[in-house]
Chains A and B, each alone.
Chain A
Amino acid sequence: MQRADITKDNLQLGARAAKVTWLAGAIGLVAIAAAVLLGLLSSDGGESFATAYLTAFVFFLTLALGALFFVLLQHVTGAGWGVVVRRPAEAIAGVFPLFAVLSIPLLFNLHSIYPWAGGEAASDHVLAGKAAYLNVPFFLIRWIAYFGIWSLMASYFRRTSARQDGSGDPALTIKMERLSAPGMVVFALTATFFSFDVLMSRDPHWYSTIYGVYLFSGSVVGFCAVLPLLTLSLQRWGRIQHAVTREHYHDLGKLTFAFVVFWAYIAFSQFMLMWYSNIPEETSWYLRRLSGPWSGFSLILLLGHFVIPFWLLISRGVKRRPATLAFAASWVLLMHLLDVYWLTMPESSPTSLGFSLMHVLCLAGVGALMIAAVTYNLSRSALIPVGDPRLDESLSFENV
């Protein structure tokens, strides 16, 4: 009912941001350098490094994709409630240029990640048939297009919103709304083909048309978990303390809940059709994940990524208390990591889970660099869009 009073709120990240950026950046670079070194010293031609790095890269990149989707969604629906949490989302979506750079180690290791890029591809009849799409030059062209498009979109919405901070011009909101709808279409297409390229082609004989939606649903789950954790951290640092209220956390919890259910729906849709028709070229992918140690892993994913968060997040009280929401969000984020791991690893490690120090180093490295970039992005403008015409609506937002 009453508009939250933000006159006393600290809306700038301030000087501490630079410290965090440098520290996290340094940790990230050291961890990645250690992982690269470990990879060069290993006798497997860098495969363990490449797959571990791919897991970490995709995990953190999906969070940014979820953020870009959230920003587009806010504009395309003209949402009022989420204005106060849009800046953190814009900051997370602003990491695509960093990931374009971080993808260089991957692009040097394509042959050890993707069978279609290696020497055995020439003798494989199926791969020969797919060679028009699955070849290194075309892959690189698509890769550049994905990162170029995402960087441009994220930067446009972040900069336009930041420009509005000064002018408060509602015309900018209308402009962003108009562009967000075609932006959503472009996002859907790029995210879908990216998922085919980056993970599905790890097993180039296998295909699933719903795969893009599956990775997308997990991405939004991951992002919905990161956003409340990020705003809670900002509030713990004494920023935006009155702007973001339990009402906003409640809504973020609802969104997480909805996408947890959506993820399960999509995951089951993919599984059931392949299980029912029982065609070898389709079941091979699931067979790998339902045999040996991976069968237990799949069960953990079913319980941990759907059943447990479903019962955790269904209650109103859990979503409205910061401590319980933070727990649920951390849990869901961990499960999204396991999901990406489950999508990535069985192809190179079918008989064991293949977890090693390399994964820890890569996750720490890419994660720390992402924290550095997000902190830097957050420090570039106010922590809430102070010029947004719907700010009042968001500040006085209440769930009925």
Chain B
Amino acid sequence: MTAAQKHSGTPVQGAAPVPDTGVFGLLAEFQTVPQLMAAAEKVRDAGYIHWDSHTPFPVHGLSDAMGLKPTRLPYVVLAGGLIGGAVGLLMQWWMNAIDYPLVISGKPLFSIPANIPVMFELTVLCAAIGAFLGMLVMNGLPALYHPLLTNDRFRRATADRFFISIEADDPKFDAEGTAGFLRSLGSSAVEEVRG
């Protein structure tokens, strides 16, 4: 029995029992960045949809190799900024010109130059909140549990190994065929991950 087989699918020692709902997918390990890049291109071209790459550091060009579409996060940030600016303006207009009219320094009750600092701050604040929350939601975070974390080999994704995982719910997934496909891409180990 090799080390790889021994660790395959066994829960991490001491961790809470993992609900076994069947096969989560396949995890393929790669030794180098060029191998990972070449493999990612092949997985992309083979038409898989539910799959991901895992690297210990950002790899330039991986998004293209995986065929990822540009993120839509900027639109969330833009919406946050616009909402913040509008709220800042309306709030000051309602407070100072409607609810509690107060002449300050001889300026009109509703006076844009005086309102801009608050509008600016709220624009930045809401855009930043939009970026932060939008990023969390789009990434499916916070996730307290992920099937891949049960795999011992996967721990090296934070150190010196590169991984591709293909999920079982992918329309093209087929336990035998996909495993063979991943091996043919030069993976040093392909393991089944149970979720």
- A binding-site residues for B, Cβ under 8 Å: 1, 268, 271-272, 275-278, 316, 398, 400
Contacts of A316 in B (CB 8 A): 70, 74
Closest to A247 in B: B60
A174 and B66 CA atoms in complex are apart in Å by 39
In contact, B106 and A398 (Cβ under 8 angstroms):
no
A70 and B184 CA atoms in complex are apart in Å by 50
In contact, B60 and A400 (Cβ under 8 angstroms):
yes
A271-B113, A272-B117, A276-B105 known, 18 other contacts, Cβ within 8 Å: A1-B59, A1-B60, A1-B61, A268-B116, A272-B113, A272-B114, A272-B116, A275-B113, A276-B107, A276-B114, A277-B105, A278-B105, A278-B106, A316-B74, A398-B60, A398-B61, A400-B58, A400-B60
Q: Which 9 A-B pairs have the closest CB atoms?
A: A1-B61, A398-B60, A1-B60, A275-B113, A272-B113, A400-B58, A276-B105, A268-B116, A400-B60
Contacts of B60 in A (CB 8 A): 1, 398, 400
Contacts of A268 in B (CB 8 A): 113, 116
- B binding-site residues for A, Cβ under 8 Å: 58-61, 70, 74, 105-107, 113-114, 116-117
A278 and B106 CA atoms in complex are apart in Å by 9
Q: List 12 A-B contacts (CB under 8 A).
A: A1-B59, A1-B61, A268-B116, A272-B113, A272-B114, A272-B116, A275-B113, A276-B107, A278-B105, A278-B106, A398-B61, A400-B58
Min CB–CB distance B169 → chain A (angstroms)? 29
A278 and B114 CA atoms in complex are apart in Å by 13
A196 and B50 CA atoms in complex are apart in Å by 62
Contacts of B114 in A (CB 8 A): 272, 276
Contacts of A271 in B (CB 8 A): 113
A281 and B132 CA atoms in complex are apart in Å by 46
A277 and B114 CA atoms in complex are apart in Å by 11
A275 and B117 CA atoms in complex are apart in Å by 14
Contacts of A1 in B (CB 8 A): 59-61
